């Protein structure tokens, strides 16, 4: 392999490929695989927003997987650096990643999201407390909330960023195990089940505010119900998903 190809592999996500329907479908399928409830819940999203919602959820997953996935943080930091360049390029009309074919044309604050990626990388470190877990994510969560509102033409409401942060903490718990459990939750987990203790506490800490975006309301409600069921990764039953999505979609 040439030196130029090696450098390219470090600078870009390992699974990023040229634009194309097959490549895009592969990325979207990764998120659907983790959230099969969406096959039902998306019926409560306006038809012209469904493709955008799915692509936006997938982008968030790509970012948090880069930040928190794996035992070695270095590859993830390289991926986030690539994403910073990519998102900055979207503001200038440039694009390389398949997800850009759906998202790039929207006048969302992509540069703000790019600027917040270092805060997401910092959140890889185990937080000292529940409060620290939310506080460290605040810059990134706030940027995500602003993209939410731009993509789905909604007004920001108080607490949007904290709801996003709760969503992100659930995602990490569900897919990265106990690596993100705050230290104060580890201290309380005398029974040897730190993820269960953290899940219960995150459920208690979940913000009561309703996000401005209908899509975010549905995502947050599904995540919170998974927590309440005591199984962060287990899909909800179809009837329950239908009820939760209907209630969350009501303005």
Give the CATH number for residue 104: 1.10.600.10
3-state secondary structure of 250: coil
Taking alpha carbons only, the member of 228, 207, 211 closest to residue 219 is: 211
Of 17-31, 157-171, 227-241, the one with minimum mean pLDDT is: 17-31
Does pLDDT of 16 surpass 50? no
* Within a domain: 169: yes
* Within a domain: 93: yes
With tokens 């450098």, the residue in question is: 7
Q: What is the dihedral of CA 28, 34, 40, 41, to 10 degrees?
A: -90
| Distance linking the first and last C-alpha atoms of the chain | 55
Q: Would you state the pLDDT for residue 30?
A: 93
Question: pTM for the complete prediction?
Answer: 0.90
**Range(s) of the domain holding residue 92:** 37-249
Taking alpha carbons only, the member of 211, 167, 164, 218 closest to residue 46 is: 218
- Count other Cβ atoms within 10 Å, centred on residue 65: 18
* Average pLDDT over every residue of 61-85: 93
* Residue pair 37/241 in contact by the 8 Å Cβ criterion: yes
* Average pLDDT over every residue of 214-237: 91
Domain total for the chain? 1
Instruction: Name the DSSP letter for residue 109.
Output: -
* Average pLDDT over every residue of 185-194: 83
* Within a domain: 21: no
How far is Cα 88 from Cα 127, in angstroms, rounded to an integer? Answer: 29
* Within a domain: 25: no
* Within a domain: 142: yes
* Within a domain: 7: no
With tokens 């990134």, the residue in question is: 140
**Mean pLDDT value across the chain:** 88
In which band, very low, low, confident or very high, does the pLDDT at 232 lie, cut at 50, 70 and 90?
A: confident
Of 64-68, 184-188, 229-233, the one with minimum mean pLDDT is: 229-233
* Portion of the chain with pLDDT greater than 70, in percent: 92
* Within a domain: 109: yes
Q: Would you state the pLDDT for residue 251?
A: 65
CA atoms within 13 A on the CB side of 76: 20
* Within a domain: 59: yes
Select the more confidently predicted residue: 183 or 175.
Answer: 183
Of 111-115, 194-198, 209-213, 214-218, the one with minimum mean pLDDT is: 209-213
* Residue pair 130/201 in contact by the 8 Å Cβ criterion: yes
Taking alpha carbons only, the member of 98, 114, 119 closest to residue 146 is: 114
Taking alpha carbons only, the member of 210, 116, 113 closest to residue 157 is: 210
3-state secondary structure of 32: helix
């Amino acid at each position: 392999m040439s030196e130029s190809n090696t450098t390219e592999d470090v600078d870009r996500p390992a699974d990023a490929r040229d634009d194309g329907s097959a490549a895009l479908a592969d990325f979207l399928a990764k998120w659907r695989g983790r959230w099969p409830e969406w096959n039902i819940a998306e019926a409560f999203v306006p038809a012209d927003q469904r493709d955008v919602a799915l692509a936006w959820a997938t982008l968030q997953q790509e970012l948090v997987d880069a930040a928190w996935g794996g035992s070695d943080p270095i590859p993830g930091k390289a991926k986030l650096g690539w994403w910073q360049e990519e998102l900055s390029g979207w503001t200038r009309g440039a694009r390389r990643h398949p997800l850009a074919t759906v998202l790039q044309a929207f006048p969302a604050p992509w540069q703000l999201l790019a600027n917040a990626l270092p805060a997401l990388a910092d959140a890889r470190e185990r937080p000292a407390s529940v409060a620290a877990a939310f506080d460290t994510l605040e810059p990134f969560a706030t940027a995500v909330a602003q993209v939410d509102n731009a993509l789905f033409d909604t007004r920001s409401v108080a607490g949007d960023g904290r709801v996003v942060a709760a969503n992100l903490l659930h995602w990490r718990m569900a897919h990265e195990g106990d690596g993100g459990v705050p230290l104060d939750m580890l201290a309380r987990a005398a029974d040897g089940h730190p993820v269960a203790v953290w899940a219960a506490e995150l459920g208690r800490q979940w913000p009561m505010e309703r996000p401005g975006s209908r899509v975010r309301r549905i995502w947050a409600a599904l995540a919170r119900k998974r927590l309440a069921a005591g199984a962060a990764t287990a899909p909800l039953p179809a009837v329950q998903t239908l009820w939760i999505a209907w209630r969350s979609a009501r303005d």
